[in-house]
Amino acid sequence: MAILPFEDSERDEAQVVDLFSGIILFLLLAVLMLGCLAFMLVRAAGYVESLLLTLLSLAALLLLLGWAWNPRAGFSGLGVLFSRHVLSVGLPFEQWMHHLAEHAMREDDPAAFLDDAFAGLARLPWVGGGEWRAGERAEDRSGRFGRLEGQKTEYHHGPLAVTLYTSQRLSPALSWHFGLLARLLGEFYLAKVHAAQLQRLSYVEAVHETGARVTHDVKNLLQSLNTLCFAAEWQDGDNSAEFQRLLRRQLPVITQRLQQTLDKLRRPEEQPMTWQGAASWWADLKQRYAGAAIDFTEGGIDPALEVPGGLFNSVAENLLQNALDKRLHEPALRISARFSGGGAIEFSVCDSGSPIAGDLAVKLLRGPVESAGGFGIGLYQSARQAEGAGYRLELQTNQAGHVCFRLHRRQPAA
Residues 6+ apart with CB under 8 A from 338: 296, 297, 298, 299, 346, 347, 348, 350
Beta pairing partners, 337: 296, 349
Q: Long-range contacts made by residues 302-305, C-beta under 8 angstroms, separation at least 24?
A: 302/278, 302/341, 302/342, 303/277, 303/279, 305/277, 305/278, 305/279, 305/341, 305/345
Domains of the chain (ranges; CATH) run: 23-60 (no CATH), 92-201 (no CATH), 273-414 (3.30.565.10)
∠ CA 174-180-181 to the nearest 5 degrees? 90
Q: What angle do CA 269, 348, 328 make, to 5 degrees?
A: 95
Q: Mention every residue, 6+ apart, whose C-beta is less than 8 A from residue 159.
A: 134, 135, 136, 140, 186, 189, 190, 193
According to the model, what pLDDT value does residue 414 have?
43
Residue 296, beta-bridge partner list: 337
Task: Give every CB contact of residue 301 below 8 A, 6+ residues apart in sequence.
Answer: 278, 279, 282, 339, 340, 341, 342
| 27 contacts: CB under 8 Å, gap ≥ 6 | none
What is the per-residue pLDDT for 15?
A: 53
What are the pLDDT tens digits along the chain (414 aa)? 455 554 544 444 455 556 777 888 888 889 888 888 888 888 888 888 888 988 898 888 888 877 777 666 555 566 666 655 555 545 566 777 777 788 788 888 888 888 888 888 888 777 888 888 887 554 467 888 888 888 888 888 888 888 888 887 877 777 887 888 888 888 888 888 888 888 888 777 776 766 766 776 777 777 777 767 766 676 655 556 766 776 777 777 777 777 777 776 666 555 567 788 888 889 888 887 877 889 999 888 888 888 998 889 889 988 998 898 899 889 899 999 999 987 788 999 999 999 988 888 888 887 777 666 555 677 888 888 888 888 999 999 999 999 999 999 855 544
SS3 breakdown of the chain: % helix, strand, coil, rounded to 5?
Answer: 55, 20, 30
Tell me how many helices (H) and strands (E) the chain has: 11, 11
Q: Say if CB 54 and CB 32 are below 8 A apart.
A: yes
| Number of other residues whose CB lies within 10 A of the CB of residue 376 | 19
Helix H or strand E encompassing 329: helix 309-329
3-state secondary structure of 163: strand
Cβ neighbourhood burial of 317 (10 Å; 0-12, 13-18, 19+)? buried
Three-state secondary-structure class, residue 358 = helix
> What are the residues whose beta carbons fall under 8 Å from the beta carbon of 335, sequence distance 6 or more?
292, 293, 294, 295, 320, 323, 324, 327, 349, 350, 351
Q: Report the alpha-carbon distance of residue 310 to residue 294 in Å, rounded.
A: 21
Contact in structure between 238 and 285 (CB atoms under 8 Å): no
d(CA 359, CA 338): 27
pTM exceeds 0.75: no
Condensed to tens digits (0 to 9), the pLDDT of residues 115-153 reads 888 888 888 777 888 888 887 554 467 888 888 888 888
Would you say how long the chain is, in residues?
Answer: 414
Which amino acid, one-letter code, is at 187?
E
Please tell me the distance from the alpha carbon of residue 414 to that of residue 410, in angstroms, as a whole number: 12
The CA distance from 113 to 141, in Å, is: 12
pLDDT value for 88: 52
Could you tell me the CA-to-CA distances from 338 to 28, 55, 276, 299 in Å, in that order? Answer: 96, 100, 18, 7
SS3 label, residue 130: strand
Asked if residue 280 lies in contact with residue 312, where contact means CB atoms within 8 angstroms, the answer is no
